[in-house]
């Protein structure tokens, strides 16, 4: 199969869909890989490295998008969607529940679009979302601590305090992969940490993992409203697979918070879990509403692109091998977990949560394989 690797074009996005090592694996299996020139230059993957791995370098995104299977990291921009056509497959993060124009553009293309974030595994997890959730969770504490600095609009607090001076209060809404990793970092910096979740089983797991280092609280609107009043840093880490994130911190709640407190919205790719959230970029990552600093970068792991690229490519490569070796329809037929990743096929939405979020008709993915 001919596999295309275009350069990412979102603001300050330097990740790339395949490492040279992954390309070598695909070429050894008999596949042809075309790489847009400069695709990996942001993390020191040179064209020569891709050529040494057996890839062909092409001069434009248009040439890379002529392949049968397109591998990306971030969702395609509208002009990239226009490069797709029936018979092609796109494999990348999509986050369609918060992006109706992209969904409609992919439907118009007729291509198959498989979303990393809705591929499942035997344990009910999201294996291709997990590595970037790990990165985003750990980064959330770093960027939150930075935003708390007075020079960045924050309260002027050191997250872990010092002897004789209290540590910051960190509230983490969501105890999944992102929330757990955020808690690890915050605990390591000696902050006071509280995790909210709606699963009692997950709260029990977190209690056992962290012992007495964190508090766990069952998540309700009232409990969150009370907690944000005393919080210095609130991290939104909720996830409903494929669907838009619920709005858990309202505009009204901001008026009860400390001046200079910080909100970090990891869920912004799915529309955000704070009512006042709006997507930002790495070159202008934060803004202030009602004296509360908001950090809502939609591609947080892009700030550490080398780590993120290897973490993601290690997870996606087995699925790329399946798609390339069997063909898209056969791979989707044989692997139900990969089939759960199919969001768009032949002009139709094939993930129920996406269809509900966008008020678009839903078709079962099995109709298209």
Paired sense of beta strands 69-71 and 262-265, if any: unpaired
b/e for 7-40, b at 16 or more Cβ within 10 A? Answer: bbebeebbbbbbbbebbbbbbeeebbbbbbbebb
Strand pairing class (32-36; 69-71): unpaired
Residue 289, H or E segment? strand 286-289
By the 8 A CB rule, do 181 and 311 touch? no
Mind giving me the DSSP string for 119-141? ---TTS--TTTHHHHHHHHHHHH
Residue 341 contacts residue 119 (beta carbons within 8 Å): yes
* Residue 269 bears catalytic tag: yes
3-state helix/strand/coil string of 60-85: CHHHHCCCCEEECCCCCCHHHHCCCC
269, 294, 340, 351: the catalytic one is 269
Indicate the pairing of strand 348-349 with strand 89-92: unpaired
- Contact (Cβ atoms closer than 8 angstroms) between residue 89 and residue 69: yes
The residue annotated as part of the active site, out of 14, 31, 95, 351, is 95
Map residue 361 onto helix, strand or coil. coil
Going edge to edge, which strands form the sheet with 192-197?
Answer: 214-218, 192-197, 169-173, 233-236, 262-265, 292-295, 286-289
Per the annotation, the verdict on 207 as an active-site residue is no
Q: Active-site residue numbers?
A: 95, 269
């Amino acid at each position: 199969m001919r596999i295309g690797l275009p350069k990412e074009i979102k603001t300050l996005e330097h990740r790339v869909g395949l490492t040279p090592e992954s390309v070598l694996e695909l070429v050894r299996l008999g596949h042809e890989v075309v790489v847009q020139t400069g695709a990996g230059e942001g993390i020191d993957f040179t064209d020569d490295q891709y050529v040494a791995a057996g890839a062909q370098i092409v001069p434009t995104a248009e040439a890379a998008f002529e392949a049968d299977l397109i591998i990306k990291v971030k969702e395609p921009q509208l002009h990239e969607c226009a490069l797709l056509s029936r018979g092609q497959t796109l494999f990348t993060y999509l986050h369609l529940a918060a992006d109706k124009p992209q969904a409609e553009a992919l439907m118009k293309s007729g291509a198959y679009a498989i979303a990393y974030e809705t591929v499942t595994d035997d344990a009910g997890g999201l294996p291709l979302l997990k590595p970037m959730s790990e990165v985003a969770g750990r980064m959330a504490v770093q960027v939150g601590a930075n935003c708390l600095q007075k020079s960045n609009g924050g309260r002027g607090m050191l997250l872990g305090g010092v002897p004789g001076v209290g540590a910051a209060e960190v509230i983490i809404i969501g105890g999944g992969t992102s929330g757990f990793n955020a808690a690890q970092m915050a605990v390591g910096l000696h902050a006071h940490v509280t995790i909210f979740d709606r699963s009692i089983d997950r709260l029990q797991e977190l209690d056992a993992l962290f012992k007495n280092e964190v508090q766990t609280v069952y998540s309700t609107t009232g409990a969150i409203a009370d907690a944000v009043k005393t919080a210095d840093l609130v991290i939104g880490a909720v996830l409903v697979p494929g669907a838009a994130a619920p709005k858990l911190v309202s505009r009204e709640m901001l008026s009860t918070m400390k001046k200079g407190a910080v909100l970090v919205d990891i869920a912004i790719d799915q529309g955000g879990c704070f009512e006042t959230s709006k997507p930002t970029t790495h070159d202008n990552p934060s803004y202030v509403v009602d004296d509360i600093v908001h950090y809502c970068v939609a591609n947080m792991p892009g700030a550490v692109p080398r780590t993120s690229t290897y973490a993601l490519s290690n997870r996606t490569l087995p699925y790329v091998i399946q798609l390339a070796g069997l063909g898209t329809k056969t791979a989707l037929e044989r692997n139900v977990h990969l089939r759960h990743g199919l969001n768009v096929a032949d002009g139709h939405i094939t993930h129920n949560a996406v269809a509900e979020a966008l008020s678009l008709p839903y078709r079962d993915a099995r109709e298209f394989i």
